[in-house]
Chains A and B, each alone.
Chain A
Amino acid sequence: MEIKFTEESLKKLEEAKSRYPTNDAALMSALWIAQEQFGWISNEIMLYISSLLNVPFERILGVVEFYTMYNKQPVGKYHLQVCTNISCMLCGGYDVVDYISKKLNIGLGETTPDGKFTLIEAECLGSCGTAPMMQVNNYYEENLTKEKIDSILTKLSNS
């Protein structure tokens, strides 16, 4: 597959570039736009962005590796990121991990065979008052209980 930004992505990139005095400052935005379009950041995508922004490939690789939210590998359609940091841990964050892991039959960092779900453990997501919680793609699911997890997973499985 040829790696190319869609018209919409290119427009977003131009808009991002206009916010900074230098082109290379738009790198993080470019990576977000790429992740939105492709789902993850491959070497080919980094090379493509390198040519778009005129930034060396090595610098892009460094940035992608540094920030945890850029997916270095393909992830499932729904990226379940369960917080296990202190406030969530005290309220059962690890039980949430175990429960989802058993239910979907995948370990941490794994994806279900149908490519629907990837499960990971996340650091504090700033949702301590509504613990335990997880982030599903861009959105937060808070005050989790077994029943709530069941209904979230059922809804996502059917979509």
Chain B
Amino acid sequence: MSDFQPIILKDIPDFHKIEVYMKNGGYGAFKKALKMKPEDIIDEVKKSGLRGRGGACFPTGMKWSFMPQKTEKPKYLCCNGDESEPASFKDREIFEKNPHQFIEGTLIACYALGIKTAYVYIRGEYYPWIVMLQKAIDDAYAKGLIGKNILKSGFSVDIYIHRGAGAYICGEETALLNSIEGKRGLPRVKPPFPANFGLWGCPTTINNIETLANVPPIIENGGEWFSKIGEPKHPGSLLYGLSGHINKPGIYELPSGTLLSDLIYKYGEGVKDNKKIKMIIPGGSSMPPLTADEIDGLKMDNEHLKAVNSFIGTGGIVVMNEDTDIVKVIKRIAQFYYHESCGQCTPCREGCGWMLRILKRIDDGMGRQADIDLLNDVANNIEGNTICAFGDAAAWPVKWAIKKFLPDFEQKVRENVKIPIANKVHALRLVSLE
């Protein structure tokens, strides 16, 4: 269907098995890396232009260069497989179809950064995938690719899985650190940044699973090769996730900058029942939604999405057809954030509750015009006023849905007014107004 050769989700039967992976050149990049100087590996990753796939698109090479080189303390790598952002289901695909490439990327990162211990944080619900990854890790240990004095290089590293237990906020990098330490997953105030003060106060780097899976091909083929795939400012392939009202949902690995219309109509085979599209979420529930008018010609990478006031996030695309009740969808999203707020910051803890209550009221037909302004106000007061980016993530869908789909909110307020009749005077006044 496309000439693009996937970098991660390769179409090779049984690729998740270590023998098949190695037969196809697997762990070759790691062996090559072991002969390189750590600085050169970091430079190669910088050259590649690889940006984090966990949502924030931070340049990976730059993040790695923040790790102090000379330090008495142990250093840690945390691989972020919390994947709890609604509409994201890509890292799970890597655990299932190509766990060894992720492990190899983790090994290369550890070698480049002088790290001896890596923790893979996986959401608790992903139990079957934890089992799959553990099997892959065990196989790599058995082949002497993880453990002590790997391939007689003098380099040693251990990789452990840490199972989460159901908390979206643990995907936030500093909450994740607390969770690994066996605490509640409360985000930490930054600075200090994890590169200086992370796990147990030691230098720590946090990377997404997909980010790390991209490292072996970069080392194997060079940073320049990678930088030429897709959009120059956000190069490489992306694991786009299609869900919602779409004929062929699933994960599609394609170059960054793939047209949204191609993703929906070519790969996803169009909208269910041939309906028109009303709203699109481009990269997970936190990302500001798009209208149908914005689809045409829109390239899916962070820079192009920024131009329409959104972001690529985790690449989880939700397609909603013309019959979708926008207020109900936004209410459901607000319910999620209300449930998941860790409660440390007042704007987030209280604001998420307010947003949900107002949205419920509007959805129940008890809303007033002023509620829409109030909702917008609450969202604006959360954004930018919190310890972690969860606050923004909760505010954006509400704020931008109001901006882009105002008539939907107004219609609910106007049409189904069922103001509870608390006393007769009020009721009479309502009747006379009509």
A residues lining the B interface (CB < 8 Å): 19-22, 24-29, 31-32, 55, 59, 62-63, 66-70, 84-87, 89-91, 122-131, 135, 138-140
Select one of B87, B124, B126, B281 contacting A67, CB under 8 A: B124
Decide if A63 touches B183 in the complex (CB within 8 Å). yes
Decide if B165 touches A86 in the complex (CB within 8 Å). no
In angstroms, how far is the closest chain B Cβ from the Cβ of A96?
A: 15
Contact (A25, B181) CB under 8 Å given A66-B167, A126-B92, A129-B250: yes
For B163, list chain A residues within 8 Å (CB): 28-29, 32
B58 interfacial by beta-carbon distance below 8 Å: no
Number of A-B contacts (CB under 8 A): 137
| Cα distance A12–B36 in the bound complex, in angstroms | 38
Which residues of B166-197 are within 8 A (CB) of A? 166-168, 179-185
Decide if B244 touches A87 in the complex (CB within 8 Å). yes
Decide if A69 touches B181 in the complex (CB within 8 Å). no
In angstroms, how far is the closest chain A Cβ from the Cβ of B323?
A: 10
- For the residues of A in contact with B, the DSSP-based class is mixed
Decide if B184 touches A86 in the complex (CB within 8 Å). no
Decide if A90 touches B165 in the complex (CB within 8 Å). no
**A32 closest partner in B (C-beta):** B163
For B124, list chain A residues within 8 Å (CB): 32, 67, 69
Q: Contacts A32-B163, A87-B86 given; 14 further ones with Cβ under 8 A?
A: A20-B180, A27-B182, A28-B182, A29-B163, A31-B165, A32-B165, A62-B183, A68-B166, A70-B165, A90-B243, A90-B329, A124-B285, A126-B125, A129-B242
Q: List 24 A-B contacts (CB under 8 A).
A: A19-B158, A19-B160, A22-B182, A22-B200, A63-B182, A63-B183, A67-B167, A69-B124, A69-B166, A85-B285, A85-B336, A86-B86, A86-B332, A87-B318, A89-B332, A90-B329, A91-B245, A123-B340, A126-B89, A128-B87, A128-B89, A128-B243, A128-B316, A135-B125
The list of the 6 closest CB pairs from A to B, nearest first, reads A67-B165, A69-B166, A128-B243, A27-B182, A124-B86, A68-B166
Select one of A29, A59, A67, A129 contacting B166, CB under 8 A: A67
| Cα distance A131–B242 in the bound complex, in angstroms | 11
Decide if A140 touches B128 in the complex (CB within 8 Å). yes
| Cα distance A71–B123 in the bound complex, in angstroms | 16
Decide if A86 touches B125 in the complex (CB within 8 Å). no
B255 interfacial by beta-carbon distance below 8 Å: no
Total residues of chain B contacting the partner, CB 8 A: 53
B265 interfacial by beta-carbon distance below 8 Å: no
Select one of A28, A62, A125 contacting B165, CB under 8 A: A28
**B161 closest partner in A (C-beta):** A19
Decide if A130 touches B249 in the complex (CB within 8 Å). yes
For B86, list chain A residues within 8 Å (CB): 85-87, 123-124, 128
Contact (A69, B244) CB under 8 Å given A85-B336, A123-B168: no
Decide if B168 touches A66 in the complex (CB within 8 Å). no
**B340 closest partner in A (C-beta):** A123
| Cα distance A127–B316 in the bound complex, in angstroms | 11
**A65 closest partner in B (C-beta):** B184
For A20, list chain B residues within 8 Å (CB): 180, 182
Decide if A66 touches B185 in the complex (CB within 8 Å). yes
| Cα distance A62–B184 in the bound complex, in angstroms | 7
For B318, list chain A residues within 8 Å (CB): 86-87, 90, 128
**A137 closest partner in B (C-beta):** B127
For B340, list chain A residues within 8 Å (CB): 123
CB 8 Å contact bits of B329-356 with A (1 = contact, 0 = none)? 1001100100110100000000000000
Select one of B89, B92, B324, B339 contacting A123, CB under 8 A: B339
